[in-house]
Amino acid sequence: MVDKVSRLTQARVTRRAVVAGAATAAGLAALPGSAFAQQALQDVLMSPNRGGWNDQFDTRSANVAPVRSNQPVFSPSTAGAMQQAIGHYNQITMAGGWPMVPEGQKLRLGVEHPSVMALRERLAISGDLPRSAGQSASFDTYVDAAVKRFQSRHGIPADGVVAENTYKAMNVPANVRLGQLQVNLQRLQSETYDAPRFVMVNIPAASIEAVEGGRVVQRHTAVVGKIDRQTPILKSRITNLNLNPYWHAPTSIVRKDIIPLMRKDPTYLERNDIFIYASDGSVIPPSRIDWNTEEATRYLFRQNPGKNNAMSSVKINFPNPHSVYMHDTPQQSVFSQLMRFESSGCVRVQNVRDLIVWLAKNTPGWDRATMEQIIARRERKDVDISDPVPLHFTYLTAWATDPTVVQFRDDIYARDGSSDLVMSDLRPVAYQPGEQVATGITY
């Protein structure tokens, strides 16, 4: 009985608090500029999920389109959305662009600093922050949500902290962003993609979309080619999968990586289960090779399946003149890096087993359970795809599947024609020992 009375009393108090809060908001509504806040509060009160008060209030009041979407980049509507975005960015440019946000001060939730004024204006012009959020010097939850949206649109971890990478992306002039959109619209319009399902690798974004029925059914983080070993632009079809594959080192990797490694550590090949084969199939001991010359480039280097294998559990094959492929990796930590441009041209795929199950779903006898069992046994198996899946390696640093959500990425290979867009510190470098934990090789 006491518990029941207690619950009733608590319910009355809760209702009384809500009514009092609403009454206070009604009083505020009589003040100039408070109608927006009143509407936002009303949205919260009507929300079926108002347990997280602050989150709901800020989300409802932001009034901006979400960044994530199931709309593929390769879609007939993308060109139209980009053209509308170009029109909008042209208006921004004609009006004088946006202000530069003074760098140096790390800005985050709770900070009060004069630079926040310029930050608010910058975010408002690009559509990440509603004008009604005000112009104070306080980094409040509205600014925090807007910064996270901006970061998501630019491929930056959405932590809400304005630091070096966010400043770099934010202070690219509006006219440069306009030109970037125009260049990438031309690239997009040169593509053809009418298959019912396909895979698209966007190199600057280091990301992968698996598309079916006009919708993105899977997204994967990728690692692509470094500056001096670029992933090529290509079109092909995925025809074959290797489970627990052998890895055959390309001549370029033998020359650039294996020879220098063997000069430093003669046990490297043995420790990583890599064998040298002559043209007649015989195995050549490493001790017979003169590692101070390029003699090794005349032979085949093959790594056995296993924990050290450069492709780990899976290799995805497609005909192409560049000898590149997609694959798993034993170095899963690289997928959490901001700059994922570390391979020798091939594409590493996070959660690759989800992708291969989708690729082989119309191939009889190859379901997920079967694949997982074979991989666990480290058994070598090849899977020929019954319906080869079209594949596109493309280079898009700007796109919009919604004209109000424009995505930008670093022009990592410097193809957009502006030095302002090459914002990374990555540059061609010589091999550094210890670069890769498992094999010492990028691939």
In angstroms, the Cα distances linking 118 to 18, 99, 123, 177 are: 36, 6, 9, 19
Residues in the chain, overall count = 443
Q: How far is residue 418's CA from residue 432's CA, in Å, rounded to a whole number?
A: 30
3-class SS at 312?
coil
Q: How far is residue 122's CA from residue 92's CA, in Å, rounded to a whole number?
A: 11
Cβ-contact 200, 72 below 8 angstroms: yes
Sign of torsion over alpha carbons 324, 327, 330, 336: positive
Amino acid at the residue 155: G
For residue 217, count other CB atoms closer than 10 A to its CB.
14
For residue 84, the surrounding DSSP H or E stretch is helix 76-94
So which residues are the catalytic ones? 327, 346
Amino acid at the residue 328: D
Q: What is the dihedral of CA 69, 416, 81, 133, to 10 degrees?
A: 70
In angstroms, the Cα distances linking 210 to 131, 220, 224, 400, 443 are: 37, 8, 17, 18, 23
Q: Which spans in 326-400 are helix H? A: 352-359, 368-376
Q: How far is residue 401's CA from residue 83's CA, in Å, rounded to a whole number?
A: 11
Under 8 Å CB-to-CB from 236, ≥6 apart: which residues? 318, 319, 320, 390, 391
Place of tokens 């997982």: 372
Under 8 Å CB-to-CB from 364, ≥6 apart: which residues? 386
Q: Which residues pair with 221 in a beta bridge?
A: 207
For residue 406, the surrounding DSSP H or E stretch is strand 405-408
User: 248: which DSSP letter?
Assistant: E
